[in-house]
Amino acid sequence: MQDIIAQRVEAVRQWLNVQQLDAIIIPHEDEFLGEYVPAHNERLHWLTGFTGSAGAAVITHDKAAIFVDGRYTVQVTNEVPNDLFEYRHLVTEPVLEWVKECVGKQAKVAIDPRMHSGAWLNQAQSKLAASHQLVILSENPVDTLWQERPQPIISTMRLMPESSVGQSSESKRQTIANQLVKESIDSAVLTSLDSIAWILNIRGGDVSRLPVLLSHAIIHNDATLEFFIESSRLAQGFVEHVGPGVSVFEPSELECRLNRLEHKRVLLDANNSNAWFSLTLQNAGAEIIAQPDPCQLPKAAKNATEVSGMKACHIRDGAAMTKFLCWLDGEVAAGRFHNEAVISDTLHAFRQQDSSLMDLSFDTISAAGTNAAMCHYNHENQPAPGKLPNHSLYLVDSGGQYLDGTTDITRTVAIGQPTQEMINQFTLVLKGHIALAKARFPKGTTGPQLDALARQFLWAEGFDYDHGTGHGVGHFLNVHEGPQSISKRQNTVALMPGMVLSNEPGYYRADGFGIRIENLELVVEHETQGDFSVLGFESLTRCPIDKRNINVDMLTNAELEWLNDYHQKVWNDVSPLVAGQDKTWLQQATSPLHHE
């Protein structure tokens, strides 16, 4: 593989010579800027061999560097040849800073604007304008050089009935149009695949783990919408399904339709759209209104039908998790310590017993022993999957895409007898999880204002975790959904009833063990005795938290009451769906804990 990568790097360098360019930046992103990239758009992987979900490479005539974040600092050394690429940290040694220092002054640095967000291009132009020439490409060299490129997945379009999503496409379009009229905006370009799926009430499978279709859309303030997708892909009954006002165009017609927005006020989300859109609109003479995707907030605040679906799929997902955890305990008790791949595949098989499962919601994190100390570990990127060590912890972070909702759950499981340190750290994480789950807060509260609740007990002992506490989750859509989040990072979006977020504090001891406890939480409204109502969370996830990992003496009476109440809900909802040994296991796993 190293020889192949060396040939590809050399081919890019020859292309630089022919084009009289000095460097090119190749990011992991594709033109849709989604969290996951389909195989036929994995340009960074083709060039470098890197399989991670975030990164970038820079190729010059005599240097090459690959940039990854803290999740992949070990993985990159296993996948990318160090005699071809320097390893750099994406956050502490940003791509643009490296270019400024390592690529000669006034050098011509090429980018494909479809692979970078509009916000990134603005930053690049600002940083490099005085020292380098940024060259905007009309054709990506990787697309020209990539032989035997995989064919795109052409999935079947699924029409989601109003009974499943709670609101017609026509009604959604009118809601967005009213918002545009209110702000004197003529049109909005929709580039986020989940926004397009949401507003048209359609789903697909063009991208692994995401029930979306590779497409674009433009919505106008009269509620009409232009949908850019191959007409051959339209499901039977599509026209009747979406209602009047939707016109379908071939993807090749997108630029022409954008050019028709001359002198129009056009909303474009610079963070979620690639820079080609902003350049095209600017050249067309449109006035770009830089605002967030108008579908984000109404999509995030689930309606009653979507909430009902999310609750239902979490109960069925809890039954699959129960069967899986019962199986795992039985295997360990029998002395069969499987590897991470076997365990992950077994969990998938239990979920597949539900006919409404369409896909996993992300690649399962199946992490045994010390591997769990890497919070985004992926056994499929390792030379060989790890095997369960006895007297340790096993962390499994997984989820499903069901027809009625999306799940995401992490459980940390005792394998044999965990050490007292493991138990104490698990309990600190659990206390933070409970504190956030029990939170009550006024309307207008943002996620970062709640983040410390989950970290406080770890902080008190001098510990922390290097990831966010909570991300938004879609309804049979993206498992990572904005704009809401709970983290240290600034976010001004207030939490609203109907939003779904994860609650996932953790602890990671390098080369030791990892712990994470994750439930999905629904934002709900609570009546009070005061002058106004407050918001809080309702746990959607239905799966036991491993009591063997808990130091009961570290829990307050209120925390213990929450845990026992949660486990009673798990028993009430899941026990009717399991039988025999699984039901016996569940009964034991959800039985109350008490202070001695």
Query: Is 554 in contact with 427 (CB distance < 8 Å)?
Result: yes
Q: Which of 431, 427, 473, 469 is nearest to 448 (CA)?
A: 469
318 burial type by CB count under 10 A (0-12 exposed, 13-18 middle, 19+ buried): buried
Q: How many CB atoms lie within 10 A of CB 167?
A: 16
Whole-angstrom Cα distance, residue 275 to residue 295?
A: 20
d(CA 269, CA 37): 20
From the centroid of its chain, how far is CA 144? Answer: 30
Residue 72's pLDDT is 80
DSSP 390: S
| pLDDT, tens digit, 9 for 90 and up, residues 8-32 | 999 999 999 999 999 999 999 999 9
Query: What is the 8-class DSSP label of residue 529?
Result: S
pLDDT in tens, 32-83: 999 899 999 999 999 999 988 889 999 999 999 999 987 788 788 889 999 9
CA-wise closest residue to 27 among 48, 4, 1, 12: 48
| Contact predicate 86/62, CB 8 Å | no
Residue 568 host element (H or E): helix 557-574
Q: How many beta carbons lie within 10 A of that of residue 477, not counting itself?
A: 22
Higher pLDDT, 432 or 271: 432
Query: Quick one: average pLDDT of 189-211?
Result: 97
Question: What type of residue sits at position 32?
Answer: F
User: Which residues are CB-contacts of 276 (< 8 A; sequence separation ≥ 6)?
Assistant: 31, 113, 114
SS3 content of the chain, % helix, strand, coil (to 5): 40, 20, 40
Q: Model pTM?
A: 0.94
CA torsion through residues 254, 256, 259, 265, sign: negative
Residue 304: which pLDDT band, with cuts at 50, 70 and 90? very high
Q: How far apart are CA 177 and CA 179, in angstroms?
A: 5
Residues sharing a CB contact under 8 Å with residue 323, sequence separation 6 or more, in sequence order: 350, 353, 578, 582
- pLDDT value for 466: 87
Q: Specify the higher pLDDT residue, 529 or 416.
A: 416
pLDDT digits (tens, 9 = 90+) for 420-454: 999 999 999 999 999 999 999 999 999 999 999 99
Q: Are 554 and 424 in contact (CB under 8 A)?
A: yes
The count of C-alpha atoms lying within 13 angstroms of the C-alpha of 450, restricted to the half-sphere facing its C-beta, is 37
The mean predicted confidence, pLDDT, of the chain is 96
Q: What is the pLDDT of residue 452?
A: 98
Neighbour order of strands in the sheet with 392-398:
365-368, 392-398, 409-415
Phi and psi at residue 426, in whole multiples of 5°?
Answer: -60, -40
Percent of the chain residues past pLDDT 90, beyond the cut: 90
pLDDT band at 378 (very low <50, low <70, confident <90, very high): confident
- Paired strand residues for 513: 509
Which pLDDT value is given to residue 131?
A: 87
Q: Which of 175, 169, 34 is nearest to 115 (CA)?
A: 34
Q: Which of 507, 546, 539, 548 is nearest to 520 (CA)?
A: 539
Residue 314's pLDDT band (boundaries 50, 70, 90)? very high
- The residue written with tokens 């986020």 in the block is 192
Identify the CA nearest to 533 among candidates 548, 519, 523, 542. 523
Confidence of residue 559 (pLDDT cuts 50, 70, 90): very high
Element (H, E) at 298: helix 296-300
**244, 189, 243: which is closest to 215 by C-alpha?**
189
Contacts of 587 (CB under 8 A, 6+ apart): 571, 575
The label of the residue with tokens 């009591």 reads: 547
Q: Report the C-alpha gap between 67 and 90 in whole angstroms.
A: 5
pLDDT, residue 369, reads: 96
